[in-house]
């Protein structure tokens, strides 16, 4: 981190940015510099601050504190930074050349389509980026959108390129082509920042690797001087102790009866890229099956599949031994499955309804016959509010609650009827330590009541603390399921998650 | 006959062109009705005090712009609900013109200035129709062949897109609203200056029908032109039919609105087919 400034293309000093909503520091005092013409892989888990940092670099966001210098660029105004986004940003109703033209420096008001397309074509031929320029934005696949964004950056001759998990939406073949192209761009003296979850890619491509965790820069080091295991540990952190409360809760061996939920050879692909590959699992009553993984690497997709948000192309889903052609959210609820989603605000709560209304979402009928519907609702809500230790009033809008309280609300709503099957995704995101412990206690209690619990999480500690059996999902493929302690520990799970074990 | 329909379609088409700007920017411009009425009143007011055709039209454009500014101020700056502020404009403008009319002319009814300006015409189409057709061509060029036009077309849904290019989506929206206000103002001026009088409520739903024409034409200019001509033709047929058919005139006069409703239904069906 002490190389002379003149050789650097970006110098970051003490960049800090926190979010107004929750005060969490997405970037905390980050300092490093990027050399001219190098590929720097930026790694980290979800919410590690990678995207925020890149948004600051590309000028989309401002840092609260700290300085950002582009020594090679006299204007200092982020003009030499081009970003290839993970989520497509382009206008669906405009065709490709119009989308590219949008970012073009405007010397005149009038667009000259012929001139522009011929200069785009020249770049296409030069770099082998085939793409029909007259296609509309909405017709493009994720890979084609990426190509369009890359063409725009190259047309503008960006010297610094940021790629945000570019291979996540690509097939293997496409990914290899892209990595080759990146090496060529580097050869031209461009600086490349490459965000990825995949250690293999980082080692294959990058000169140096930087790891972010919880908004802090954990390490930055040349690829040759660090082992994949060390990178994986820097990403995931050291282990935590298993709290006594949960250790005391009895871990039973589950019965070998019919599994509550069974997936058989599920295949799911989206826009040509495979998201889940030949996935099978069995979940029994009275056990917690933990599936560790990275959300973009198949975990989010598995959540969607099990809750009926997407349909698999092939494979079987069985509930208590009964075949279900495919799940829909309605069928899913009809079978009495409880679901605690990772995206609580969008899937778990109706923000503009009151706390009471949210708590009653799963119930059709209210007990008791005295009083109006509203008084019954408030009575019911009060019971659950105290049971769930939610800090809020029955008639308060959910939007005004804190994230932790919204999670408590979802928990008490989903768990209070003692469901037979519970699907939980990223339950402790944004929770403080003590709420997290209480939550873990509740989940292990559900197991003691003979519920089948499927836990999907990126948090390895959580998996180890709670799960009876563990499997790891990487690149859409599920590993063998094994009890915790046998094959799975912090190191093996972490390496499997990030793909470090396949180097 | 054809030139007559084209002439009658001009104010609707001009308003629709203005509305296209806001529609592409992702603003539901329901205040067009009020903007048209303001233009119509201002044009007569100015020509009553000796203003020529050009002066009256320009003043109407300015009045439309002012109305649009109030609309954008309340909607974007003060963050009012765009539907409410738009309706507010539509209710405010007739009331405001009525009270101005009371103050200046001593009545709230039809205003008929003494001296009438003759509107020059060639080949059966008058100056305003030619102007509207030219304006339609210009809008087409601006939207498809200039950078601001591209930006506008890109802005509707994806606010992040503009932000990532360093453009403020709010500025684009405000500009679109102001342009639509100007065009609606002129549209109103065409209505009143052709008639040589201001009649309360003379916009007669043109702002709404323009909005329908935009949707029916898939936000594309040739489609919008066709939709505007269709609605105007329906109006002409309704007027003709009044004398011939033995149907109560009030029912016949509802034809254009009935066609609007049918048009909306047709749009929904076409959209479903396309998906």
Which residues are CB-neighbours of A322 under 8 A, at least 6 positions away?
Answer: none
With beta carbons less than 8 A apart as the criterion, state whether A245 and A412 touch: no
Residues in A touching B150 (Cβ below 8 Å):
94, 98, 101-102, 111
Considering CB atoms only, which of B145, B153, B166 is closest to A91? B153
Asked if the C-beta of B140 comes within 8 angstroms of chain A's C-beta atoms, the answer is: no
- The minimum CA-CA distance between B150 and chain A, rounded to whole Å, is 7
- Mutation target to probe the A interface, by most A beta carbons within 10 A, among B143, B164, B166 is B164
Residues in B touching A98 (Cβ below 8 Å):
150, 153-154
Give the pLDDT score at B134.
94
Give the pLDDT score at A78.
58
With beta carbons less than 8 A apart as the criterion, state whether B190 and B36 touch: no
Which residues are CB-neighbours of A282 under 8 A, at least 6 positions away?
Answer: A259, A261, A262, A481
Give the pLDDT score at A246.
53
Considering CB atoms only, which of A93, A103, A111 is closest to B146? A111
Asked if the C-beta of B145 comes within 8 angstroms of chain A's C-beta atoms, the answer is: yes
Give the pLDDT score at B182.
95
* B17 exposure class (CB count in 10 Å sphere: 0-12, 13-18, 19+): buried
Residues in A touching B161 (Cβ below 8 Å):
89-91, 102
Look at B150 and A58 and tell me if their CB atoms are within 8 Å: no
Task: Kindly identify which residue of chain B lies nearest to residue A88, measuring between CA atoms.
Answer: B161
For each of chain A's 503 residues, which pLDDT tens digit applies? 444 444 677 888 888 888 755 566 788 888 888 888 899 999 887 667 888 888 888 887 888 888 888 877 666 565 678 888 877 678 888 888 888 888 776 667 788 888 888 989 998 898 888 888 888 887 887 788 888 889 988 888 888 899 988 887 677 778 888 889 999 999 888 899 998 877 888 888 899 999 988 888 888 989 888 888 888 878 776 655 555 545 444 555 555 678 888 888 888 887 767 788 888 888 888 888 999 888 777 888 888 888 888 888 888 888 888 888 778 888 888 888 889 888 888 888 888 888 888 888 877 667 666 678 788 888 888 888 888 888 888 888 888 777 778 888 888 888 888 888 899 998 877 676 667 778 888 888 888 888 889 999 888 888 888 888 889 988 888 888 887 766 787 778 888 887 766 65
DSSP A410-440: HHHHHHTT--SEEEEESTTTT--HHHHHHHH
**Which residue range forms the structural domain that includes residue B203?**
2-274
CATH of the domain at B104: 1.10.3470
**Domains identified in chain A and CATH numbers:** 5-236 (3.40.50.300), 244-248+257-336+419-502 (3.40.50.300)
Give the pLDDT score at B181.
94
Give the pLDDT score at A2.
42
b/e per residue A265-287 (b: at least 16 CB within 10 A)? ebebeeeebbbbeebebbbbbbb
Note the pLDDT tens digit of each residue in B189-201.
999 988 888 888 8
Question: What's the structural domain count of chain B?
Answer: 1
Name the nearest CA neighbour of A288 among A452, A476, A101. A452
Residues in B touching A95 (Cβ below 8 Å):
none
Cα distances from B125 to residues B4, B119, B209, in angstroms, run 8, 10, 22
Give the pLDDT score at A3.
42
What value of ipTM does the predicted structure carry? Answer: 0.75
Note the pLDDT tens digit of each residue in B233-257.
888 887 777 777 777 767 766 776 7
Considering CB atoms only, which of A94, A98, A109 is closest to B148? A109
Look at A110 and B146 and tell me if their CB atoms are within 8 Å: yes
Name the nearest CA neighbour of B267 among B221, B207, B210, B227. B227
Look at A93 and B153 and tell me if their CB atoms are within 8 Å: yes
Residues in A touching B149 (Cβ below 8 Å):
111
- The minimum CA-CA distance between A106 and chain B, rounded to whole Å, is 7
Give the pLDDT score at B101.
87
Element (H, E) at A283: strand A273-283
Residues in B touching A83 (Cβ below 8 Å):
164
Token code pair at residue B91 = 């209710």
Task: Kindly identify which residue of chain B lies nearest to residue A57, measuring between CA atoms.
Answer: B164
Look at B147 and A106 and tell me if their CB atoms are within 8 Å: yes
Name the nearest CA neighbour of B227 among B260, B270, B185, B257. B260
Considering CB atoms only, which of B144, B145, B151 is closest to A102? B151
Look at B145 and A90 and tell me if their CB atoms are within 8 Å: no
Residues of chain B with pLDDT under 50: none
């Amino acid at each position: 981190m002490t190389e002379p400034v003149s050789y650097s293309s970006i110098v970051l000093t003490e960049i800090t940015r926190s979010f107004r909503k929750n005060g969490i520091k997405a970037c905390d005092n980050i300092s490093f510099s990027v050399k001219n013409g190098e590929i720097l892989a930026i790694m980290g888990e979800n919410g590690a601050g990678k995207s925020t940092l890149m948004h600051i670099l590309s000028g989309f966001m401002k840092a609260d504190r700290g300085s950002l210098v582009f020594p090679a660029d006299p204007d200092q105004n982020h003009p030499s930074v081009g970003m290839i986004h993970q989520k497509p940003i382009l206008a669906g109703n405009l065709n490709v050349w119009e989308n590219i033209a949008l970012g073009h420096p405007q010397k005149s008001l009038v667009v000259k389509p012929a001139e522009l397309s011929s200069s785009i074509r020249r770049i296409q031929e030069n770099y082998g980026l085939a793409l029909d320029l007259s296609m509309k934005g909405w017709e493009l696949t994720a890979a084609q959108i990426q190509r369009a964004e890359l063409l725009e950056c190259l047309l503008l001759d960006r010297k610094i390129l940021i790629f945000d998990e570019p291979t996540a939406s690509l097939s293997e073949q496409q990914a290899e082509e892209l990595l080759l192209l990146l090496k060529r761009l580097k050869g031209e003296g461009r600086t490349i920042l490459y965000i990825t979850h995949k250690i293999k890619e980082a080692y294959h491509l990058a000169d140096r690797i930087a790891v972010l965790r919880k908004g802090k820069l954990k390490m930055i080091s040349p690829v040759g001087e660090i082992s994949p295991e060390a990178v994986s540990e820097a990403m995931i952190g050291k282990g935590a102790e298993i709290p006594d409360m949960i250790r005391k809760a009895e871990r039973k061996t589950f019965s070998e009866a019919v599994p509550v939920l069974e997936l058989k050879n599920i295949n799911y692909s989206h826009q040509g890229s495979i998201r889940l590959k030949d996935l099978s699992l069995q979940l029994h009553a009275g056990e917690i099956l933990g599936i560790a993984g990275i959300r973009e690497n198949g975990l989010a997709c598995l959540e969607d599949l099990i809750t009926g948000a997407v349909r698999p192309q092939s494979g079987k889903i069985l509930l208590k031994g009964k075949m279900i052609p495919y799940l829909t959210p309605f069928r899913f609820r009809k079978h009495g499955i409880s679901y605690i989603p990772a995206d609580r605000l969008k899937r778990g709560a109706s923000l503009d309804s009151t706390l009471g209304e949210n708590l009653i979402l799963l119930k059709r009928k209210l007990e008791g016959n005295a009083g109006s519907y509203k008084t019954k609702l408030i009575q019911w809500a009060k019971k659950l509010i105290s049971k769930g230790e939610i800090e809020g009033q029955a008639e308060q809008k959910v939007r005004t609650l804190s994230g932790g309280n919204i999670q408590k609300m979802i928990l008490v709503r989903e768990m209070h009827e003692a469901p037979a099957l519970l699907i939980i995704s990223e339950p402790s995101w944004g929770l403080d330590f003590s709420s997290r412990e209480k939550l873990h206690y509740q989940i292990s209690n559900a197991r003691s009541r003979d519920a089948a619990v499927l836990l999907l999480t990126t948090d390895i500690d959580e998996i180890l603390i709670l799960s009876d059996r563990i499997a790891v999902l990487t690149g859409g493929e599920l590993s063998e399921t094994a009890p915790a302690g046998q094959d799975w520990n912090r190191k093996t799970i972490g390496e499997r998650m990030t793909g470090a074990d396949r180097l | 006959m054809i030139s007559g329909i084209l002439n009658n379609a001009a104010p609707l088409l001009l308003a629709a062109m203005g509305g296209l700007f806001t529609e592409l920017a992702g603003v539901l411009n329901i205040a067009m009705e009020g903007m048209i009425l303001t233009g119509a009143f201002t044009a007569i007011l100015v020509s009553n005090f000796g203003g020529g055709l050009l002066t009256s039209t320009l003043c109407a454009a300015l009045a439309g712009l002012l109305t649009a500014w109030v609309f954008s101020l309340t909607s974007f700056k003060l963050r009012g609900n765009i539907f409410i502020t738009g309706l507010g404009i539509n209710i405010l403008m007739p009331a405001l013109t009525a009270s101005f009319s009371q103050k200046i002319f001593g009545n709230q009814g039809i205003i008929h200035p003494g001296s009438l300006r003759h509107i020059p015409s060639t080949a059966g189409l008058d100056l305003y129709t030619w102007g509207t057709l030219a304006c339609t061509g210009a809008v087409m060029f601006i939207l498809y062949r200039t950078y601001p036009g591209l930006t506008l077309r890109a802005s509707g849904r994806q606010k992040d897109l503009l932000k990532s290019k360093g453009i403020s989506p709010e500025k684009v929206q405000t500009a679109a609203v102001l342009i639509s206000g100007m065009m609606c103002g002129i549209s109103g001026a065409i209505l009143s200056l052709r008639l040589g009088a201001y009649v309360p409520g003379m916009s007669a739903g043109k702002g709404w029908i323009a909005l329908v024409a935009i949707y029916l034409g898939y936000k594309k200019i040739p489609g919008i032109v066709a939709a505007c001509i269709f609605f105007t033709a329906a109006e002409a047929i309704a007027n003709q039919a009044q004398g011939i058919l033995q149907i109560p005139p009030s029912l016949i006069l509802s034809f254009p609105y009935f066609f609007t409703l049918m048009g909306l239904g047709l749009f929904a069906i076409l959209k479903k087919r396309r998906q």
